[in-house]
Amino acid sequence: MLPIRFWLYLVAVLLLTGAVYITNAPFVARNASAGQPTAPSQEKTFYMVTGEFKGRYQGKKLEAYRWDPGMIVVHQGDRVHLVIRGVSGKEHPFSIQGYNVRGNVRQGQITRVSFTAYKPGTFQLICHTHPTAETNGPMIGYIVVLPRQTT
Q: How far is CA 5 from CA 10, 12, 13, 16, in A?
A: 9, 10, 12, 16
- How confident is the model over 7-34, as a mean pLDDT? 44
Report the b/e string of 99-116 with b at 16+ CB within 10 A. bebeebbeeeeebebeee
The answer to whether 49 and 106 are in contact (CB under 8 A) is no
Could you tell me if residue 59 is inside a domain? yes
Give me the domain span that covers residue 142.
4-146
Report the length, in residues, of the chain: 151
Residue 35 has pLDDT above 60, yes or no: no
Q: Which residue has the higher pLDDT, 150 or 70?
A: 70
- How confident is the model over 55-65, as a mean pLDDT? 84
Could you tell me if residue 99 is inside a domain? yes
Could you tell me if residue 19 is inside a domain? yes
The confidence score (pLDDT) of residue 30 equals: 47
Could you tell me if residue 40 is inside a domain? yes
We report the CATH number of the domain holding residue 103 as 2.60.40.420
Residue 34 has pLDDT above 50, yes or no: no
In total, how many domains does the chain have? 1
Chain mean pLDDT for the chain: 78
- How confident is the model over 9-14, as a mean pLDDT? 47
Could you tell me if residue 151 is inside a domain? no
Could you tell me if residue 118 is inside a domain? yes
Could you tell me if residue 142 is inside a domain? yes
